Amino acid sequence: MDKLIISGGHRLDGEIRISGAKNAALPILAATLLASAPVTVCNLPHLHDITTMIELFGRMGIEPVIDEKLSVEIDPRTIKTLIAPYDLVKTMRASILVLGPMVAHFGQAEVALPGGCAIGSRPVDLHIRGLEALGAIITVEDGYIKAKAPEGGLRGGNFFFDIVSVTGTENILMAATLAKGRTTLENAAREPEIIDLANCLIAMGAKIQGAGTDTIIIDGVEKLGGARYHVMPDRIETGTYLVAAAVTGGRVKLKDTDPTILEAVLSKLQEAGAEITTGDDWIELNMHGKRPKAVSVRTAPYPAFPTDMQAQFIALNALAEGTGTVIETIFENRFMHALEMQRMGAKIQIEGNTAIVTGIPMLKAAPVMATDLRASASLVIAALMTEGDTLIDRIYHIDRGYECIEEKMQLLGAKIRRVPG
């Protein structure tokens, strides 16, 4: 298993390009299964989860065509099997996103119950109940969700999400595009990645209103056509590099990103003392050599502060002036990184879903272990301001969400290298 070794104490300064958003790319790839013609998806990040999704398509009989820029053409008309097997999907929760498109377009699907990060309960019952509201007949047996459309196909319906669910909203939204009649989704997730998915579906011929609000209305169409679609930039990767620069007192300019999709994060960074300037497709952060001030955050569904930035802000507070409180309201086990930071000397007190963090100027290097995707990013940030060399183990988690993290960090001046396990 590969590891990262980071030598702390170096201020970040430079420019990098932000990759396409994994959390937009995966549902958009799944949406290509709805088409009756080839769909080309551009600006895909080079990540393990993306490779797994493309491999899954290959297993189902589709032959993706990949060019040198990692644009992928998917022609679902060659599909041979409607099963997403456990051995492929166990590492990736987003695999469940093929369920709605397959049952809507092909009338049936078998999808293994998904795996992914160990950050708490993420039930699939919303996906199942949402598809049942469109008339799907679903059973769960032998570790698989088995779905069939009724005779004549899915039909429009109304569905209220008891809990705001991003992948749940995406799955039912995709299925509804080919359902007969109108579907209304209430208490839908509002994330920018859902808007991106809806825009891709609209480019394919879908009729969707309200994406980005809590009520989405879909008027089903007979079929969806081909399209060429450019995936949005990754707002969590953007936020992670901004926090990394802030922690070191540095300056970073991030290109090919969008400042309008992480306003809650930019606001908290300004509160921490960062000077932020933005353009249409770039963001620059400059700390002018200053140490950040501690900030308090509370995670909540978009447009509030994202749970996927919580770990990074615990790292910021661990090295900031003062004390900050971080409240996690989305996932119940999402403070495992705090225990690893404590090994580096961080002053973090956990009380239920609250972390109280008192900053110190430098942490001490220690061997630490990544426990999930965003936790691993927070350990990289913490290691940037340590005395000595920090070794981060189990970095396969970070490779699921960050394209070439050591290369991008090196471009900004970090002393970081990957070593084989």
DSSP-based three-state secondary structure for 103: helix
The widest CA-to-CA distance across the chain, in whole angstroms, is: 66
Do 195 and 216 contact (CB within 8 A), yes or no?
Answer: no
**Distance (Å, rounded) from C-alpha 224 to C-alpha 201?**
8
Do 316 and 292 contact (CB within 8 A), yes or no?
Answer: yes
Candidates 201, 205, 198, 203; CA nearest to 221 is 205
Candidates 382, 322, 310, 372; CA nearest to 346 is 382
- Tokens of residue 120, six digits: 């708490």
Catalytic residue list contains 117:
yes
Do 198 and 28 contact (CB within 8 A), yes or no?
Answer: no
DSSP-based three-state secondary structure for 191: coil
**Distance (Å, rounded) from C-alpha 277 to C-alpha 292?**
17
DSSP-based three-state secondary structure for 209: strand
Residue 318 has phi, psi (to 5 degrees) of -65, -20
Exactly one of 42, 117, 200, 404 is catalytic; which is it? 117
Q: Which residues pair with 368 in a beta bridge?
A: 392
How many Cβ atoms from other residues are within 10 Å of residue 139's Cβ? 11
- Tokens of residue 246, six digits: 């802030």
Query: DSSP per residue over 116-167, as a string?
Result: ---SS---SHHHHHHHHHTT-EEEEETTEEEEEPPTT--B--EEE-SS--HH
How, if at all, do strands 275-278 and 282-286 pair? antiparallel
Overall size of the chain counted in residues: 421
DSSP-based three-state secondary structure for 305: strand
| 3-state percent helix, strand, coil for the chain, nearest multiple of 5 | 35, 30, 40
**What number of helices (H) and strands (E) belong to the chain?**
14, 26
Active site residues: 117
